[in-house]
A and B are shown apart, each in its own frame.
Chain A
Amino acid sequence: MTGALPGVAPMAVPPGAFLVVGTLLFAIGLAGALLKRNALLIFLSIELMMNAVNLLFLTYARMRGDLAGQMIVFFVIAVAAAEAAVGLAIFVALFRAHRTVDVDKIALLKW
């Protein structure tokens, strides 16, 4: 899977390996999001999933020799920062109201 584009050095590591690492990280993040009970840690796992996707973007960008992939990662990181600020503020508010951030104890989305 190596091939030289003009101006792009050949890849020493097969890109497939990056892809596998990315998807595995994504799966681990998903497992964390599904298994954790602490809302903060669920959020953390989701951050991990986003990073896994970022890795895939970077890999494809490298494979295609195209800067657009990196650009997307840039925006993802910036949006993640905004999201983290708001999300954590929500958790703080949640904690104030319920004295816990255990999602099993906060079943508000119920009929």
Chain B
Amino acid sequence: MPALNGQLVVFGFASFLALAFALLMVVQKTPVRSVLSLVVTFFGLSVLAILLAAPFIAALQIFVYAGAILVLFLFVIMLLNLKEEAADKDDRPVQRTLGLLVALALGGLLAGATLRAPVPPRGAPTGTPIPLPDEIPALGRLLFSDYLLAFEVLSLLLLVAAVGALLLSKRRFE
């Protein structure tokens, strides 16, 4: 089954990219590089989304996350002129080691838990089944029918966020 193998290869490559650049993001000292590493991670994630039959989400991932949010981050970092973390004399070794340990432990626990968790039932999906060839129109219909209220609330939320951001950045702290 060459097609399947091809998918496997793509998966391996994309997940490696995502994980490696995510690690790089954490390890990096320079904020700009951290953000750029995350861009790569998000690309990898969007490839994974395509593999999971979610091309619309994959596109959103690129447009919104990589395109809008991360650029916003970059913009703020450059605006504030943030340099490397001052020679990184972390005077909190306990926090550092404990943080690492907890992150590792939680990662392991979560991985174990998700793997051991029972497979969700597939016989009777509760929502709308994924109509594979053209799922985007279905998504759109769903968004404007079942999720209409949530969608409208979301639009309000975005408006409020925009107003709030404006207000916050305008106010002078004494």
Q: Which residues in B have their C-beta under 8 angstroms from that of A30?
A: 102-103, 106-107
Q: Which residues in B have their C-beta under 8 angstroms from that of A93?
A: 168-169, 171, 173
Q: Which of A29-72 contact B (CB under 8 A)?
A: 29-32, 34-38, 40-41, 43-45, 47-48, 51, 54-56, 58-68, 70-71
- Against A, the Cβ 8 Å flags (1 = close, 0 = not) of B132-174 are 1001001100110001001000100110111011101101110
Chain B interface: which size bin? Answer: 35 or more
In the complex, the answer to whether B25 meets A48 with C-beta atoms within 8 Å is yes
| Cβ distance A100 to chain B, nearest Cβ, rounded Å | 9
Q: Which residues in A have their C-beta under 8 angstroms from that of B77?
A: 40
| Cβ distance A6 to chain B, nearest Cβ, rounded Å | 7
Q: How many residues of A contact B (CB 8 A)?
A: 80
Given A27-B106, A41-B34, A93-B171: A62 in contact with B162 (beta carbons within 8 A): no
In the complex, the answer to whether B42 meets A51 with C-beta atoms within 8 Å is yes
In the complex, the answer to whether B114 meets A56 with C-beta atoms within 8 Å is yes
In the complex, the answer to whether A65 meets B154 with C-beta atoms within 8 Å is no
Number of residue pairs across A and B with beta carbons under 8 Å? 267
In the complex, the answer to whether A85 meets B72 with C-beta atoms within 8 Å is yes
The CA-CA distance from A31 to B34 in the complex, in Å, is 14
Partner of B65, one of A22, A77, A82, A102: A77
The CA-CA distance from A26 to B35 in the complex, in Å, is 17
Interface SS of B by simple majority:
helix
- Against A, the Cβ 8 Å flags (1 = close, 0 = not) of B32-65 are 0011001001100100110111101100110011
In the complex, the answer to whether A25 meets B18 with C-beta atoms within 8 Å is yes
Partner of B121, one of A55, A64, A77, A96: A64
Given A77-B64, A81-B64: A37 in contact with B52 (beta carbons within 8 A): no
Q: Which of A76-106 contact B (CB under 8 A)?
A: 77-86, 88-93, 95-97, 101-102, 104
Task: Taking A27-B103, A40-B77, A41-B31 as given, write out 12 further A-B residue pairs in contact, using a Cβ cutoff of 8 Å, ordered by the A residue number.
Answer: A8-B53, A19-B111, A28-B103, A34-B100, A62-B130, A65-B122, A67-B130, A73-B57, A74-B143, A79-B157, A80-B65, A80-B69
CB-defined A-B contacts under 8 Å, sample of 9: A5-B129, A21-B48, A23-B114, A25-B19, A32-B25, A32-B26, A40-B77, A70-B57, A89-B169
Q: Which residues of A contact B (CB under 8 A)?
A: 1, 3, 5-9, 12-13, 16-32, 34-38, 40-41, 43-45, 47-48, 51, 54-56, 58-68, 70-71, 73-75, 77-86, 88-93, 95-97, 101-102, 104
